[in-house]
Structure formats: C-alpha cells, structure tokens
C-alpha cells in the first residue's frame, strides 16, 4: 500500500477515535511517523473520553500485574526465611523472651522497688510467645497471671467481640479477662487500625514476681555485656 494511502487510512482510523496503538496494529509504521501524520487530527469529546478510559484501564492492569508480582516475590522471600529458622531450642526461647521483655516489659525503678513482671502488646502472636516463655522458662502458668485489656472508648460496642478474640488467641477461659479499661477516644483520630481488625491492647501481669523481675533484669544485662 502506498505511503499516502497508509496516511489516509491512519487519519480515518484516528477520526474514528482509535488510539495510536490500535492504529499501529493495522498500519505497520513507526510511532514517530504516525505522530507526524495525526498531530493535527482532532477528536470528539466522547472519543477523548474513550481513550482516557483505555489508558486508565491499562494503567490499572499494569498496576495489578506489578502488585501480583510483588506479592509473589514477598511470599517467596517469607517462605525461604521461615525455613531458615528451623526448630527453636529452649535456650533460644529463653533469649527471645528476654529480649521481648527488654523491649515491651515493665522495668523496676530505684524509687519503686518491688515492681511485678508486666508485658504489654497488641500482637496476639507476640502475646502467645511471651506466655509460652513464662511457662517454659519461668515456670508460670495462667493461675499466676492476670490480664488487663485496654480498649478505645470508640470501640466499646465491640467489647464482647474483642474478649472472644483474646480468649481464642490465648486459649484461656473468659474468667481470666475480667479487667477491662476504656481509653478515651478521639472521634477525629488519624489511627488506621480502627475497624474490625482492632482488638485493643493486652497487658500480662505476673503475680508475686518481683524476684522474677530482677532475674529478667540480670538476663538482660548479661546479653548486653556479652555483645559489647
């Protein structure tokens, strides 16, 4: 087909509202050539709208493809990393729990001696790990523990749901979760976790544990000195 005929056909297709890519599928020319031919060809409003919608749809498909690829890469990395851990030894559990307590546990102050062991967090996996540490390393079970649950006032209506969540997560009787406190909420809060995934914060208190508190402090100091 002569070049002039190709140009005329390209212009006709453009006037029908086809995109450059759609035209190039029918007319085998370089995009730069097509641009020279079509730069003065106007489009009706509905044609421009169609092209815009196609671009947005293409962008969404590209974004979804990238997102799926990123998720697949993430899953592969996580699965590989999980296998690197293997079985946790008793010593490793001891050190893990000690470091968790160093980060999230209450500390004894000189002006307040006799502080008991208390650990606060909102992550159910971390709470369960710490309870296992208390049982296997410190010899404490549920009879030695009380729980405080702090719930935002704005989530008061979900109290029963939140209690059920922690009862199932911990594997305890609801009688252990009787100490509930409500934190004054801000209706205009910028917090993201305010929906059904919000389960408050739980505090583990160990009864008569001032000696254990000092023992944990010694373990922590031992770790610090060993890495200096």
Q: What phi and psi values does residue 181 have, to the nearest 5 degrees?
A: -125, 145
For residue 146, the Cα-to-chain-centroid distance in whole angstroms is 28
Please write the tens of the pLDDT for every residue from 82-129: 999 999 999 999 999 999 999 999 988 776 677 899 999 999 999 999
Measured distance CA(125)–CA(226) in Å, rounded: 28
Name the residue among 125, 130, 85 with its Cα closest to residue 103. Answer: 130
Angle between helices 90-104 and 124-136 in degrees, nearest 10: 120
pLDDT band, residue 188 (cuts 50/70/90)? low
**Model pLDDT for residues 146-179, shown as the tens digit of each residue:** 999 999 999 999 999 999 999 999 988 888 887 9
The tokens of 120 are what?
């606060």
Residue 145 reports pLDDT greater than 80:
yes
Positive or negative torsion for Cα 108, 109, 110, 111? negative
In the beta sheet, which residues pair with residue 105?
119
Length of the chain, in residues: 228
Provide the Cα torsion 150, 155, 160, 166; round to 10°: -50
pTM reported for the whole predicted model: 0.69
Where does residue 168 rank: exposed (0-12), middle (13-18), buried (19+ CB within 10 A)?
exposed
* Collapsed DSSP state (helix, strand, coil) of residue 25: helix
pLDDT band with cut points at 50, 70 and 90 for residue 196 = confident
Q: Is 116 helix (H, G, I), strand (E, B) or coil?
A: coil
């Amino acid at each position: 087909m002569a070049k002039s005929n190709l140009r005329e056909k390209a212009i006709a297709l453009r006037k029908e509202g086809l995109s450059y890519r759609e035209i190039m599928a029918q007319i085998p020319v370089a995009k730069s050539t097509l641009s020279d031919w079509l730069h003065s060809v106007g489009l009706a409003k509905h044609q421009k709208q169609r092209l815009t919608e196609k671009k947005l749809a293409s962008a969404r498909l590209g974004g979804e493809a990238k997102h799926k690829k990123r998720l697949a890469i993430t899953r592969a990395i996580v699965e590989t990393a999980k296998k690197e851990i293997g079985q946790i030894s008793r010593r490793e559990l001891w050190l893990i729990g000690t470091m968790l307590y160093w980060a999230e546990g209450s500390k004894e102050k000189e002006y307040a001696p006799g502080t008991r062991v208390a650990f606060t967090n909102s992550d159910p996996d971390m709470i369960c790990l710490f309870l296992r540490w208390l049982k296997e390393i410190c010899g404490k079970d549920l009879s030695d523990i009380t729980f405080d649950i702090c719930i935002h006032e704005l989530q008061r209506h979900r109290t029963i749901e939140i209690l059920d969540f922690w009862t199932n997560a911990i594997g305890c009787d609801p009688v252990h979760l009787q100490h509930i406190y409500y934190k004054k909420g801000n209706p205009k809060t910028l917090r993201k976790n305010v929906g059904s995934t919000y389960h408050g914060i739980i505090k583990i208190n160990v009864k008569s544990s001032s000696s254990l508190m000092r023992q944990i402090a010694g373990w922590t100091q031992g770790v610090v000195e060993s890495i200096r």
